[in-house]
Every structure is written in C-alpha cells, then in structure tokens.
Amino acid sequence: MSDAAPRKEKLALHWKMAIGFIAGLLLGMVAYYTSGSDAQWVQWLTKYVTQPFGTLFLRLIFMLILPLLFSALVIGVSEMGDIKSLGRVGWKTLAYTVVASGIAVLLGLGLVNFFKPGAGVDPLRAQAMLEQGRERANDIVHSSATQPKGMDMLMSIVPDNVFKAAADNTILAVMFFALFLGIGLVLTRTKSTATLLQAINGLFEVSMTLIGLVIRLAPYAVFCFMFNLAALFGWDLLASLSQYVGVVVLALAIHLFVVYSLMLKFLGDWSPRKFFSGVREAMVMAFSTASSNATLPVSLRVAENQLKLPPRISRFVLTVGATANQNGTALFEGVTVLFLAQFFGVDLTLGEQATVMFVCILGGVGTAGVPAGSLPVIALICTMVGVPAEGIGLILGVDRFLDMCRTTLNVTGDLMLAAVVSKGEPYEALEGVDMPVPPPVSNEVDL
C-alpha cells in the first residue's frame, strides 16, 4: 500500500469559466434588481473594479496576439512543404469560407424577412434607447466613414511598412506579410532559413506559454464581464428588443448546430458530437470574451490536443480564420441592417438585399476580431442602402450579448473549417526541420 496521498483532481478551465460566468450573471442580476444600475455602489464597482479587470485581461491577450498570429501563420505556411500544398489548402479554406458565410447570410436574411423583428419594437422605448446610444452611434458612423473602401481597402492589405502596420494593429496587413514570409521560406531551403524558422517557432512557443499564464485569469475576467452586463442592463433591454435578439440567436443556433454539423459530416467525415465535445473550451472562451483574436491561442491548443488536427493545417486555417472566416459576424450584419430598415420603414428590394448579402460576406472577411468590431461595417452598409446609420444606437445595449453569441459561432466555425480542410491531408512536419509541437497549456490550472 502506497503512503502517497491520492492526487487531488483539478477542475478543468472551461468548468471554472462556466462557474465564473454563472456567478457573475447571478450576482449582477441581484445588484440590478435590488439596487438598480444607477446605484452609487454599482456604478463604483463596475467603473473601478470589474470593468478595469476585464479590460486588463483583454489587453494582456491582445498584447500577445500579434506575435502569436504572425508566428503561427508563418509556421503554418512554411510547413506546407511546397507551393502546391499551400495552394490546395488555401483554396479549400477560401472556398469553404465563402460557402459557409453565404449560407449564414442567406439564413439570417430569410429569418428576418419572415419574422420582421423591426416592426415589433415599442416606439417610446426605442426612442429612449436611440437617445442613450446616439453619442456612441455617431462615433461609430464617423469611424465607418474614415475606413478605406473599394480599391483602397484592397490596397491597404499590402503594407508599405510592416512595422507601422503592426503598430497600427492592422491585422490583415500583418497577416499578408506573414503569408509572404512563409512562402519565401517554402521557396528558400537553406541552413540560414531553417535557423530563421526555428527562431519564429521559438516566438510561437513563448507566446503560447505567456498566453497560457494570462488564461489563468480567464474565470475571474468572465465573472467581471457577466457582472457588468447584468448589473447595468438586466433583462429589461433584452425584453425590449426580444424579437430582434431572438431572430439573431435563432439564426446563429441553426447555423452552429445544423449547418456546421452537416459540413462536418459530409465534407470532413467528422462526428458532430465528437467535434463539439472537443471544442467546448474554445466556445466558452469565445462567448466570455466576445473576441476571436483573444480566443485564438485556446483554439490552436484545442485543435492540436483535442481534435488532433495536423498542426500545419490548424495553424494556417485558424490564424487566417480569426480574421477572414467570421460567419457569425456576416449573419449578424445582414440581420441588423434589415432590422433597422424595417424599423425606419425603408423597403429594400431584392436587389438591395442581394447587395447587403454580398457586402456582409466581404465585411465578415475584413472585420476586426475584437469586441464590437462589426459595428462600423454595419454603419457602412446602412449608408449604402439608405438606412439611417444612427439607428445603431438602438442595438448598442444588446450588442454585447449578441457579440458573445456571434463570436462563439465565429470561433467554432474556424475550428470546423480546420477539421474539414484537414481531411485527406497528411499529419507531418516540415521535412528537414525539427518543428516540435509546443507543450500544451494544461486545462487543469491552479487559480
């Protein structure tokens, strides 16, 4: 009989985040319905404790995301081995992204035309919400007006100074440079480039390790996010826009559990049950942070450790997908534009709705993977089809909750895409270069 005491089981990270989520929601509801959102102690707590802690957590993640995204994409491209493999994986990724985004937008437009949520909002309550959100809505509209459009948007993807692009947090430009550098490493097989590749792999491993340390704060950050949401808004705001929220959530749920399951089953030969069981930690993280970029390190670890996908495929698809494969964002944008059109009595023709669908698919590709990153795109689309863009003020109160929902779909869609694209791809590292998989950050963390 061994004298050693039995090892105490540690709670998995996703369960700790779930506990933080429920605790924050319940305590926030208690604060809202017992004291009200205007109570001095509620305002003080959210302003000086919970909101700063949540913001600090996201900033720590975003601080490390750029080196992680850069190194993961360079490694993912370089591990393809040859341009032919890169082209095959790239075109499969692009094709499945367009198909999934197209289905998402069609689904959203169909449901919003059927249920017509814009006709069911109480005018007095809606006017009050418009006034409350008018200042921020005007900032969003101004932001959309200053963003590059058309050919300028395409040209901005190619940076003239990659360091300036990184300093400005222009993710697409940095990704283009990483893609280009990866192609250069594929075409240049020398001892020096092998050393460079090892250094970039070291940057990836260090980034993953540091983010693993930050992720330990996730349950507390989740508690803060949910407390703020519940304490400041309660359920009243959701009830006022219940039809709109219901249509968005229904469309997201159908796309998540029906469309993704069909794509997994018939395109990737995956069991949907096995897939969703493996990605639950990434889904909880996505829902809690409302940020695809903040969830990227968890998605990378889940893809390699839980789904057992080839690292060269998962690193390429997930880093590209964090910005380019945002089905939930495209769906949300389409539903919101038509909702605002219905609310303001703007009758959009089928041709105008087709334009909305096309721009939403493109907007889903270039939308920043950060909380509320889709709002400037919605303002831009509204302006294009003659819908008052200031109407965004109507949905600002419920956007945080819907952002959490659509980010969950975005992140799950990235992992689904990686699983589907991995079908038929060999599980191998870059020939001639030692490319170890980084040590996993354990789910069982001490908090």
What gap in Å lies between CA 74 and CA 432, rounded to an integer? 17
What gap in Å lies between CA 328 and CA 112, rounded to an integer? 15
- The full set of domains in the chain, from first to last, is 13-421 (1.10.3860.10)
Q: Say if residue 144's pLDDT is above 80.
A: no
Nearest to 296 by CA among 199, 407, 396, 172: 407
Q: Say if residue 194's pLDDT is above 60.
A: yes
What gap in Å lies between CA 137 and CA 175, rounded to an integer? 30
In tens, the pLDDT along 58-84 reads: 788 778 878 887 888 888 788 776 677
In tens, the pLDDT along 207-229 reads: 888 888 888 888 888 888 888 87
Tokens 């590059």 identify what position?
148
Nearest to 226 by CA among 35, 19, 38: 19
In this prediction, residue 433 carries a pLDDT of 37
The pTM score is 0.75
- Helices 51-78, 191-215: axis angle to 10 degrees equals 160
Query: Phi/psi of residue 416, each to 5°?
Result: -60, -45
Candidate ranges 236-240, 257-261, 339-343; pick with highest mean pLDDT: 257-261
In tens, the pLDDT along 26-37 reads: 898 888 888 776
In this prediction, residue 204 carries a pLDDT of 86
Candidate ranges 30-44, 69-83, 188-202, 247-261; pick with highest mean pLDDT: 247-261
- Helices 292-301, 396-421: axis angle to 10 degrees equals 30
When comparing pLDDT for 262 and 324, which is higher? 262
Q: Which pLDDT band holds residue 412 (cuts at 50, 70, 90)?
A: very high
What gap in Å lies between CA 422 and CA 263, rounded to an integer? 13
Q: Rounded to the nearest 10 degrees, how much is the dihedral formed by the CA atoms of 74, 79, 84, 88?
A: -80
Q: Say if residue 334's pLDDT is above 50.
A: yes
Q: In whole angstroms, how far apart are CA 185 and each of 141, 178, 188, 205?
A: 42, 11, 5, 19
Q: Say if residue 197's pLDDT is above 60.
A: yes
